[in-house]
Chain A
Amino acid sequence: MLKSLAAAVSGLALLTGAAIADPVKVGMITTLSGGGAGLGIDVRDGFMLAVKQAGNEDLEVVIEDDQRKPDVAVQLADEMIQSEKVDVLTGIIWSNLAMAVVPAATAQGKFYLSPNAGPSQLAGKGCHPNYFNVAWQNDNLHEAAGAYAKETGYNNSFILAPNYPAGKDALTGYKRFYDGEPAGEIYTKLGQTDYAAELAQIRASDADSIFFFLPGGMGISFLKQLADSGIDLPVVGPAFSFDQGILQAVGDAALGVKNTSQWNKDIDNPANKAFVESFKAEYGRLPSLYASQGFDTANLLLSAMSKADVKDADAFRAALKEADFNSTRGNFAFGNNHHPVQDIFVREVIKEDDVYTNKIIATAMSDHADAYAAECNM
Chain B
Amino acid sequence: MSLVLIAEQVLNGLQFGVMLFLMAAGLSLIFGVMGLINLAHGSLYMIGAFCAAAVAGATGSFVLALMAALAGAAVAGALVEVLVIRRLYNKDHLDQVLATFALILIFSEGTRWLFGSFPLYLNVPDILSGPVTLPGGIQYPLYRLVLIGAGLAVAGGLFWLISKTRIGIQIRAGENDREMIAALGVDIGRLYTLVFALGAALAGLAGALVGAIQSVQVGMGEPVLILAFVVIVIGGIGSIKGAFLGALLVGLTNTLGGIFLPEALKLMIEPAAATSIGASLASMAIYILMAVVLVLKPTGLFGARA
Interface bits B115-145 vs A (CB < 8 Å: 1, else 0): 0111111011000011100000001010110
**Least Cβ distance of A116 to chain B in Å?**
16
- A187: Cβ under 8 A from any B Cβ: yes
B124 contacts A228, C-beta separation under 8 Å: yes
* Interface segment, one of B61-69, B192-200, B214-222, B239-247: B214-222
Tell me which residues across on chain B come within 8 A of A15, comparing CB atoms.
none
- B178: Cβ under 8 A from any A Cβ: no
**Least Cβ distance of B64 to chain A in Å?**
18
**How many A-B Cβ pairs are below 8 Å?**
123
* Interface segment, one of B36-44, B74-82, B273-281, B288-296: B273-281
Contact of A221 among B8, B214, B258 (CB under 8 A): B214
**Least Cβ distance of B252 to chain A in Å?**
11
Please measure, in the bound complex, the distance between the C-alpha atom of A218 and the C-alpha atom of B213, giving whole angstroms: 11
Question: Which residues in chain A, 187-218, are within 8 Å of chain B measured between CB atoms?
Answer: 187-189, 191, 193-194, 196-197, 200-201, 203-204, 216-218
- A163: Cβ under 8 A from any B Cβ: yes
Known contacts A187-B275, A189-B282, A229-B131, A196 near B12 by CB under 8 Å: yes
**Least Cβ distance of B159 to chain A in Å?**
26
Please measure, in the bound complex, the distance between the C-alpha atom of A41 and the C-alpha atom of B116, giving whole angstroms: 11
Q: Which of A216, A230, A253 is the most central at the interface, judged by chain B CB atoms within 10 Å of its CB?
A: A230
A37 contacts B112, C-beta separation under 8 Å: yes
Tell me which residues across on chain A come within 8 A of B116, comparing CB atoms.
38
Tell me which residues across on chain B come within 8 A of A41, comparing CB atoms.
117
- A324: Cβ under 8 A from any B Cβ: no
- B223: Cβ under 8 A from any A Cβ: yes
- A278: Cβ under 8 A from any B Cβ: no
Contact of B131 among A186, A201, A230 (CB under 8 A): A230
Contact of B280 among A38, A163, A228 (CB under 8 A): A163
Contact of B124 among A186, A193, A224 (CB under 8 A): A224
B124 contacts A200, C-beta separation under 8 Å: no
- A225: Cβ under 8 A from any B Cβ: yes
**Least Cβ distance of B164 to chain A in Å?**
33
A220 contacts B129, C-beta separation under 8 Å: no
B112 contacts A251, C-beta separation under 8 Å: no
- B21: Cβ under 8 A from any A Cβ: no
**Least Cβ distance of A238 to chain B in Å?**
17
Q: Which of A35, A41, A245 is the most central at the interface, judged by chain B CB atoms within 10 Å of its CB?
A: A35
**Least Cβ distance of B186 to chain A in Å?**
40
Tell me which residues across on chain A come within 8 A of B279, comparing CB atoms.
163, 186-189
B130 contacts A224, C-beta separation under 8 Å: no
Please measure, in the bound complex, the distance between the C-alpha atom of A33 and the C-alpha atom of B32, giving whole angstroms: 35
A245 contacts B275, C-beta separation under 8 Å: no
Tell me which residues across on chain B come within 8 A of A186, comparing CB atoms.
275, 279
Please measure, in the bound complex, the distance between the C-alpha atom of A229 and the C-alpha atom of B124, giving whole angstroms: 12
Question: Which residues in chain B, 255-306, are within 8 Å of chain A measured between CB atoms?
Answer: 255, 258-259, 275-276, 279-280, 282-283
B-side residues, CB < 8 A to A, are 1-2, 4-5, 8-9, 12, 15-16, 108-109, 112, 116-121, 123-124, 129-131, 139, 141, 143-144, 210, 212-220, 223, 255, 258-259, 275-276, 279-280, 282-283
Q: List 30 A-B contacts (CB under 8 A).
A: A34-B108, A34-B219, A35-B218, A37-B112, A41-B117, A163-B276, A186-B279, A189-B258, A193-B214, A194-B213, A196-B15, A196-B16, A197-B9, A197-B12, A197-B258, A203-B8, A203-B139, A204-B5, A216-B119, A221-B213, A224-B213, A225-B141, A225-B213, A228-B131, A245-B118, A248-B121, A249-B119, A249-B120, A249-B217, A251-B121
Known: A163-B283, A253-B123. 11 other contacts (CB 8 A): A34-B108, A168-B276, A189-B258, A189-B283, A193-B223, A197-B258, A217-B119, A224-B213, A225-B141, A248-B118, A249-B215
8 cross-chain pairs, A with B, having the tightest CB-CB distances, nearest first: A230-B131, A217-B215, A196-B12, A220-B215, A249-B119, A37-B117, A221-B214, A38-B117
